[in-house]
Structure 1
Amino acid sequence: MKRTLWLLAAGLIAVLAIPVLLGGTDLIHLLVGFPPGLFALMLGMILTCWVLNGAKLRVLLAGRAGHMGLMRATGTVMATEFAICATPGGSGGPLTLIALLTRRGVRPAQTTAIFAVDQIIDLLFFLCSMILMMIYVITRSIDARLGWMLVVPMTLLCLALLGVILMGRYHRRVLIVTGRLLSRMRISAKLQYAMVRRVLLFKQAFTETLQLPRSALASAFGFGIVHWIVRYSILYVTLYGLGQHLDWAWTFLVQMLSMAAGQLTLLPGGAGGAELSSSALLAPIVGQSSAAAAILIWRAITYYFYLIAGAPIFMLMAGRPLLRKVLEGRKNKAEG
């Protein structure tokens, strides 16, 4: 737990320190002159994102959590995203979602399947977005290096999607091969059986979720698309408030690449990597001070606000015991 708290503290410091160090003396003047109305608008945009994700969660649950209203679903999303922002690599998010939905009668395997489908929706969205961004880079004759920077995450997303398809189609063969490897590693038959049972329960729940009516899956995908469009408009609004008028597609590209870089740091919220990469992409266009101010405001909205608003919701819905468990990174031992 101490290690996670130290990493969280390092992330919080990095989010503030990097833009401050890069911004210089003009940073304070830019921050003071930022329109309060636009800042309030961006907070409202994040609230809209939470509501959209809450609506998506209700669609994917399909009544398996009983009568869950939009407000409770939104609260569940806020608590889960708080755990994602507060833990290295977002590891606490799935654990929090499992714990909250278990209290409403949803089995861990079902929750894991819903989380997996949600991640696949995001994967498809980002894959399509990167293809469109690649076309944007080519047609607008933007620096070719950005095109190469998109190739790597596009390749990884394609491989991830291919892996999901292959696992779904050849899961029995994978289980047989895995069982042989575990036997050679002298893993007990009892533990192997428990692992296979959980995998099969997850596969069944995953299939059930994918067998929802097409209209429901389309609605979930639609909520995901709108959520990411609103979320990735934050930087555009931030730059607009600082007097910088960039194409929305460019700011979308900057956020997509910087958040991908942030994941490599394994610090909570992708701190450090997101700031440095976004600064490298923005500073040549808008200047060092404006880039630093934009990054500071953008991260305050998309990171600090997630922690500040999500913490009381997490404590109200989950409580201190789950917070300790999430920070310690313990694996969920509940039976599927």
Structure 2
Amino acid sequence: MSRGLWLLLCALLAAALIPLLLGGGELWQRLRAFPPGLLLIMLGMIVLCWNLNALRLRLLLGWRRLGQGRALGVVMATEFAICATPAGAGGPLTLMALLMRHGVRPAQGTAIYAVEQLGDLLVFACALVGILLFGLFNALSSRLDWMLGVSLVLLGGGLALIGLAAWYHRVLLRFSGYMLARLGVSWRRRLRWGRRVLGFRNALRDSLHLPRRILFAVFLLTLAHWLLRYSVLYLTLRGLGSALPWAWTFLIQVLALGAGQLSLLPGGAGSAELASVALLTPMVGKSSAAAAILIWRAVTYYFYLIAGAPLFLHLAGRPLLRRLVRFRQP
């Protein structure tokens, strides 16, 4: 078994053990008391999220290029790759490989993934600004206020860096070519990489120059997706009898999943749970926090792996899976 697959299994085991050890004997009582109907509603929300992302993909590709069923399969397989690889690095590779089978150039597939990520960042920026306005009229704890400020600074800085990179991309290309030459990379390879980067730039520009009504529809679909997905923790806490304001649960998820991405573990498994434990426990107690984290991650992480794995194997095949989880030996 490859090192990548062992890493995924160890991360999943660590992610499951954290809430189990935290909750103790009261955890099972909390889980048994959780309404099964509410759990089915939350799973249905995730299925709806996948369909919204499939509609977004169809809009970016051209409405008739993919059917809804095929686009849904591509989205679920891509989400599986994001959850199963460190920092979600397998997501763009999977999307590009699956779209190539429908006649989409690699540069265009990568550009579509970049547009989707930009839309996600814009939604998070708008949401954090909304939470900031909410905090001006509702007393937030000093810790949440500090975390909100840090999140806004980091997200704003990321968007600013993306904007600067886009504005000065020619300077970056020249500098990259100079550095590659200093590192001894042959001019043929530098030329090949330069053509790929320019192809991606042109494809990204074409995607961003789509009609405004299409881009606005893409933004609305992205907004609806994240509102649904980030309502899972809020509904989970309500089902456990420990309701928190939706804005607080949104901020907790942003910080916990951000910590998971920084850990470079598949799906942030383990680190996301630790961060959410630190944020939730002072508000709702150990047993409620443990049960909420276990249910929340089961719906928004394990369900992605379980539902997406068969589609990934059917659409992408085992060779791509081995390529995603394989680590080079030193």
Fold in common (TM above 0.5): yes
Q: Which runs of 5+ in 1 are unaligned?
A: 331-336
RMSD of aligned residue pairs (Cα, Å): 1.5
Partner of 1:92: 90
* TM-fit CA distance, 1:99: 0.6
Q: 1:34-59: CA deviations, max 9, x gaps?
A: 11101111110100010001011111
The separation in 2 between residues aligned to 1:42 and 1:150, in whole angstroms, is 26
Q: Which runs of 5+ in 2 are unaligned?
A: none
- Whether 1:261 and 2:259 are equivalent positions in the alignment is yes
Partner of 1:174: 172
Q: 1:118-174: CA deviations, max 9, x gaps?
A: 000001111121222233334322222222223333223222222222222222122
Give the number of equivalent residue pairs: 328
Alpha carbons 2:148, 2:251 under 8 Å: kept: no
Runs of 4+ in structure 1 deviating by more than 3 angstroms, as ranges, are: none
Letter in 2 for 1:2: S
Give the share of equivalent positions with the same residue, in percent.
55
* TM-fit CA distance, 1:221: 0.5
The separation in 2 between residues aligned to 1:314 and 1:27, in whole angstroms, is 33
* TM-fit CA distance, 1:61: 1.0
Letter in 2 for 1:93: G
TM-score, with structure 1 as normaliser: 0.94
Partner of 1:127: 125
Alpha carbons 1:258, 1:275 under 8 Å: kept: yes
Partner of 1:334: none
* TM-fit CA distance, 1:4: 1.0
The SS at the match of 1:90 is coil
* TM-fit CA distance, 1:269: 1.1
The SS at the match of 1:243 is coil
The separation in 1 between residues aligned to 2:174 and 2:247, in whole angstroms, is 46
Partner of 2:60: 60
Alpha carbons 2:76, 2:311 under 8 Å: kept: yes
Tell which deviates more after alignment, 139-148 or 279-288: 139-148
Q: 1:153-210: CA deviations, max 9, x gaps?
A: 3223222222222222222122112222222222211111111111110000000000
The separation in 2 between residues aligned to 1:92 and 1:233, in whole angstroms, is 26
What are the equivalent positions in structure 2 for 1:184-199 lying under 5 Å apart? 184-199=182-197
The separation in 2 between residues aligned to 1:177 and 1:55, in whole angstroms, is 38
Partner of 2:27: 27
Alpha carbons 1:7, 1:88 under 8 Å: kept: no
Letter in 2 for 1:49: C
TM-score, with structure 2 as normaliser: 0.95
